[in-house]
Amino acid sequence: MIDLARSDLRHFYADRESGANAVDVFGFERHGRQVGTALFREIIGAKLDVEPTSVRIERDASGRPYAADSDVYFNCSWSGTLAVFAISKLQPVGVDLEIPGADRFPDSLSESILSSRERRTFARLAAARRPGWLARAWTCKEAVVKGLGCGLQLHPASISVAPPEDLLPEAPGWHAREARNFPPWWLAELHWAGAAIALAVLSRPGSLRFVSLVP
């Protein structure tokens, strides 16, 4: 994980070779109802080496946002005070963030969002582990549908992501795999600040970094 002050965004990209197929995910705290459109433009501007005010955001035929006149796609998600912003070159990207908890992810939710294979895995889990595992499954499915640009037109139970039964370690670090019935979509999971984060891209990126934007 990289800790970075917001004021250093331009230097961050100037000092690093992004590569042709790079994905960066920025984690930050949000305040009030605003997610951070200005911040998004700053990140895109830094990556493209242009002024943030010149960044124009458009959507492709599937509804996926991208920076006009560039090969940069992006996606964002938030829950509570935490938010993430993923930026990708050359290929669409989806990202989702959720705060696990039995109140938001009760057992009853499994019937409507899990595939039959996933429900079998879910049934084997101890009760205390189910909300966290369910949150992980949901973030992975959300990341895929956001990457596809189809939203919930695609039923969550039709997507099989089947997270491993072992818990993600607390220390930040990407854990990668593939969506079982949606090749070639590639998934990566991350635990950060108590949140479950999932990233989905069409193919494995050349580089993948998580950047925590510190105040």
So where are the chain's domains?
2-214
pTM of this prediction? 0.90
CATH number, span 2-214: 3.90.470.20
Distance of CA 150 to the CA centre of its chain: 16
For residue 120, give both structure tokens. Answer: 């079998």
**8-state DSSP, 154:** S
| Residue in 124, 128, 205 with CA at minimum distance from that of residue 162 | 124
Query: What gap in Å lies between CA 143 and CA 140, rounded to an integer?
Result: 5
Task: Write out pLDDT tens, residues 170-197.
Answer: 666 788 877 766 667 899 999 999 999 9
Task: Write out pLDDT tens, residues 80-133.
Answer: 899 999 999 888 899 999 999 999 999 999 999 999 989 999 999 999 999 999
The full 3-state SS of 58-97, as one line of letters, equals: EECCCCCEEECCCCEEEEEEEECCEEEEEEEECCCEEEEE
